[in-house]
Amino acid sequence: MSHRVDIFVAVQRILPKHGLSRLIGKVAESKRPWLKNLLINRAIAAFSINMHEAASDNLDDYENFNAFFTRALKDDVRVIANNHNSVCCPADGVVSQAGTIDKNRILQAKGSDYSVSRLIGDSSSAQKFQDGSFATIYLSPKDYHRVHMPVSGTLRATRYIPGELFSVNDKTAQGLDGLFARNERLVCEFESELVGNFIVVFVGAMLVAGIETVWGGFEKPEPGAVRESNFSDQHLIYAKGEEIGQFKFGSTAIILFQKDRVEGMADLTPQAPVMMGQEIASLTE
């Protein structure tokens, strides 16, 4: 297994990942009916996508492949945990890893961890999360690709950090140190009366055509330039379970909480399937 993982990672190292992602992005934006319908049908078959959950199963309602990939769901197919103390899963997918932040390090895979400071691009902010809790959720191509709030909170700032575009699946997580702190990402810092400061990180990946947020739209990639935005004076408040953004292909969402704010996150089982809205932890009373 480890040999296959090494080869899988080695191939990715030499691929023109940004170029491929831009090319795929252009194709995915095509509005030619024959092309976008071909791509959609192939994706449904290849990834066993459940169209019964989609707000529309009519392909004519999707102007391009990206519109299909970031499709909305019917109102009743995801239930937001309504317990006042619940922490919701931010996305559909599987649990990559979850647990305690130890000495400013997050577990990536068995025997491998990485720095919170490097992940979020700010060492002083990282200190707030020492001994806190984290969960990493991997979204595969078959999953619903919108990200939602794990708890209610007010957006304070975002930080776009350019980087690589390695795949974020389990094979790469096992074989590439610091994967999530290497890839392009958008760090979203929130403040909540319930849990204090918390962070949601959108991690880009190979073939991801873009990260979008409900407050800023498409996050335009700018290689080499960290882009910080302050929203503290805009009173952007989002309820638990409310949509905050989306990916245009499979990727990863990471949530970080401060020490003694939530409990039960360490009980999540790696590779266990999860759905947006389900309770994955609870607030510490």
Q: Which residues are catalytic?
A: 92, 148, 251
DSSP state of 269: P
Own/partner pairs, 111-118, CB within 8 angstroms, 24+ separation? 112/173, 112/174, 112/177, 114/177, 114/178, 114/179, 114/180, 114/181, 115/178, 115/181, 116/256, 118/178, 118/181
How would you class 164 by CB atoms within 10 Å of its CB: exposed for 0-12, middle for 13-18, buried for 19 or more? middle
In angstroms, rounded to a whole number, what is the distance separating the alpha carbons of residues 190 and 154?
5
Structure tokens at 232: 């503290």
Alpha helices, DSSP H, located in the chain: 2-14, 17-28, 33-47, 65-69, 116-120, 123-127, 170-175, 179-182
Distance set, CA 271 to CA 46, 95, 170, 171, 221 (Å): 21, 5, 9, 12, 30
